[in-house]
Structure formats: C-alpha cells, structure tokens
Amino acid sequence: MTRKLIKNYSRRHFLQASAVSALAINFLPSRVFGANERLSIAGIGVGGKGGGDISQSGKLGDVVALCDVDANSLNAKAKEFPKAKLFQDFREMLDTMGKEINAATVSTADHTHAPAAIRAMRMGIHVYVQKPLTHTVWEARQMRLEAKKNNVCTQMGNQGTAENGLREAVELVRSGVLGAVRQAHVWTNRPVWPQAPGTIARPKDTPAIPAHVNWDAFLGPAPLRPYHGAYHPFKWRGWWDFGTGAMGDMACHTANMAYMALKLGQPNHVSAESGVINSETFPEWAHALLKFPARGDLPAVDFHWYEGKKDGKKVLPNADITALLPGKRGADGQVELASSGSLLVGDKGILYSPNDYGAAFVLLPEKDFSGLVKPKPTLPRNGKGDGGMKEEWVAAIKAGKPEMAMSNFDYAGNLTEAILLGNAAVRSGKSFKWDAVKLASPDVPSINQFITKEYRKGWEI
C-alpha cells in the first residue's frame, strides 16, 4: 500500500482480505532470540494508548508494520517509524507480513483484541495486548490456551503490575499479615464516557464515513451498523458491542493486586445489581459479587466490585466495611474514600489502597502494624511502569520464558475471565452458579449467551 492512507477500503479489497484470511497458515515460533538481537515488531492500533504502546516497544526493537482503522492516527505514527509498512486491516497485515513479524502490540477497541491477538499467536508472533484482554469470557479462555499451545510470550497492558508497590502488597498479603482474607472490595471512578442513562439507544442520523476511517475494519467481528461519531474514537467503551464498560476497563487495574495477592482463580457463584439495563449501552451503576471458593489453605472470598452513580451518589462499600478507615465522614457515616481503590478485609486487619493499581497502600489499624518487618521479597522488582511492562515482555521473549512477564496470559486470561463474568451478571440481572471447567452456568442456562458472541463472517476466531 502507499504510505498515505486517506480512503476507505473498497468492498472488493475488503472481500479479498477476508478470502486470504480464511486460508491463513498457522506458523510456530521458529527460533530463540539472542540477548542483543532486535525484534521485528508490529503495532495493531496505534492511536491513543496504542500510540504509546508501540512507541515504547519500538525502543526495544524495529517497528516494521503499523495498523490502524484510522488513517489519521496511522499517518501520525508513521512519522515516528518511517520504515514501517502501513495497513488499516490487521488481517491483511498478518497475511502479508506474518513471517517477518516477531512480536506485536494490540491496542484496538476491546472487541477486536482477541481476533487480532489469536491470529497473531497462531503464526508464532509474541503479543502484548492492552487491557481488558478480551471482550468476552470465552475469548479470555481462548487467549490463555492459544498462548500455551503456540509457545509465545505474552503480556497484558495493566501497567500497575510493574509497580513495586503492588508487588510488595502482594507479598505482604501472601505472608499472612492480614490473617485469613474473606472479603475484597474494589471501586472505580469510571465511567467517564457516554453510556446509560444519557445514552441508551443508537443515534438515528447516519453521517458519511470519514475518508480516513475504515469502518469495516473498526466493526471487525461486531454486527454491521452505520458509522457514527458516537462510537469512534474512544466512545466505544460504553457500548456492549464494542467495549466492556467500567468493569472491563478498570478492574484489570484496580482489582489486579487483590486478585494476585489472594491467588484467586474462577468464582463458583456470581450475582449483580445495577441500574436499568438496555440493549445498547452499559448501565448507570453496578455492584457485582463474585464468590471464589477456598484455594488450598486459603478461605473462600467474597469479591465486590462497585461502579457508577446511583441516585447521584457513587456506588461504594457500605460504611460498616470502611469503619476502620481514617478520614472525614459524611452524615451517612461513609468515609470519603479515594475516587478509585480497594480494600482487603482480613481477620487481623485491613489493607486499604487509595490507588488505581494497588501500588500505594496502608495497613489498618495502623497501631497494629507499627514496626512491621516486611517479608523477604519473592517477586522480582520492576518499578518502570508502562515502559517496564514492555521491557519485561521483551526480556521474556529473548529468554524464551513466558512466565517472566508477570501479566502473561496464563495470569491475565484468568483475571479477565473472572472480571467479565461480573459483566455477564450485570447484563443478565441473574444470580447464578458457575462451572469454570465447562464455561457454563449449571442452573441459569440463559447466562451462557453472554459468555461468548457471534462473529461477523470473515472475522471469526
């Protein structure tokens, strides 16, 4: 393709790409990389957060290909990497250059994470995928399985994982300083994008598709719908067909420390309450409860998630949960919590993190933990934030050790799978038992429709 991308794909071009994709060959990793050898890296989704992802990765290798549905974003990033070949459809990029690409970042809208990453992994390409890892529970399971099957090194972009504070918090909780932890509470300041109650239906007007947007490629596996600025750019997060709402967007950050520290896997029971549900966008507020069974010597955990506003007030843990927290309280007895944060409630105390990443925290009551000697570190330290996540990923690739990347898909797939079950409960309005082995509810079969989805022809996994 020419470097200047200003037009949409023609229907003929789109169908050709679909046909070629259907015949794509699976490739296995061909070799181990030397410590000083540079990787050939591709960026899929290079605007916004994706722009930062490929720029950081580009410091660790050679960027050979860039892909974005928006030619404006693509052309802007091409100035930084003038030797990279340009595409607007990741299927064409992988079919054309798959053998030349060693690693790829995937930073698209949520609904195209898995289709792009799984296609790449099946070609032996190592992948870094922005959070949330996937759009559905089923996809999260497939990402984990495909990473193992194809022996690739992976990392999800929940950059708080690189924070030394998060790793220290994990070590403290695992050392038993809180005693048995039976409750976890996590809340967020999201949503900060249009969704219910202000947006509950598709726009009725149908403006022309901008010349720089490949609308077919943006829709990807989603059902066809007319273009509108209500979806692209960024505003897709609040729509069921494209995003995963506040829970998908932020729980991979804010619940990460608790999930890791408590060695959680999959819940066996899920329920939720929320604002009014509509067929297009996420509700105004939600409170989800995931019940995790005992894990060896660790007790069962009730994991609570809170988002949005109900009757104009943020949905937060009840005042009795926050009784030990310091700070000013309102007339209702509720402490003024940080806008995002988490609480782990143990038999011996509470860990309170007023932080999106769980990287800053305090143990309460403070008098009970004065003079505490921290346990000997068991996790490697990174402390380099978002860029450190890429360094860890590339180090794993060169060492041929996927486990070196702490948010690899074996971990991140499990985390995302559990989180998105909360969305299934919100959308269904049902309380249900969950069989993680079968990826199905044994008592509420209607839940299963929200575990996976239908894929538009040409975009199947």
Residue-wise pLDDT for 130-141, tens only, equals 999 999 999 999
Same domain for 282 and 318? yes
Query: What is the C-alpha separation between 101 and 295, in angstroms, rounded?
Result: 40
Residue 33 is predicted with a pLDDT of 84
pLDDT over 60 (residue 3): no
Q: Is residue 41 part of a domain?
A: yes
Half-sphere exposure for 434 (CA within 13 Å, toward CB): 28
Residue 35 is predicted with a pLDDT of 73
Same domain for 278 and 422? yes
Same domain for 117 and 100? yes
Same domain for 247 and 122? no
Residue 185 to residues 39, 246, 359, 380, 384, Cα–Cα distance (Å):
41, 15, 16, 26, 27
Residue 36 is predicted with a pLDDT of 79
For residue 26, name the pLDDT band (cuts at 50, 70, 90): very low
CA 359 from centre of chain: 18
Identify the residue with better confidence: 159 or 31: 159
Same domain for 147 and 83? yes
Neighbouring CB atoms inside 10 A of 294's CB total: 9
Q: Is residue 405 part of a domain?
A: yes
Query: What is the C-alpha separation between 422 and 405, in angstroms, rounded?
Result: 26
Query: What is the C-alpha separation between 78 and 68, in angstroms, rounded?
Result: 11
Number of domains in the chain: 2
Q: What is the mean pLDDT of residues 39-58?
A: 98
Same domain for 121 and 21? yes
Same domain for 343 and 259? yes
For residue 391, name the pLDDT band (cuts at 50, 70, 90): very high
Residue 375 preceded by cis peptide, ω within 30: no
Nearest to 440 by CA among 424, 419, 416, 459: 424
Residue 37 sits at the vertex; the CA angle it makes with 36 and 38, to the nearest 5 degrees, is: 115
Q: What is the mean pLDDT of residues 238-254?
A: 98
Rounded to 10°, the helix 137-149/113-121 angle is 10
pLDDT over 60 (residue 40): yes
Residue 333 is predicted with a pLDDT of 66
Q: Is residue 459 part of a domain?
A: no
Same domain for 153 and 120? yes
Is the separation of the CB atoms in 115 and 461 below 8 Å?
yes
Question: Residue 41 corresponds to which amino acid?
Answer: I
Q: Provide the 3-class DSSP secondary structure of residue 430.
A: coil
pLDDT > 90 fraction of the chain, expressed in percent and rounded: 88
Same domain for 188 and 76? no
Residue 31 is predicted with a pLDDT of 54
Domain that includes residue 360, residue range: 164-192+241-379+416-450
Q: Is residue 98 part of a domain?
A: yes
Same domain for 314 and 392? no
10 Å CB burial of residue 207 (0-12, 13-18, 19+) is exposed
Same domain for 393 and 357? no
pLDDT over 80 (residue 5): no
Q: Is residue 361 part of a domain?
A: yes
Query: What is the C-alpha separation between 424 and 56, in angstroms, rounded?
Result: 34
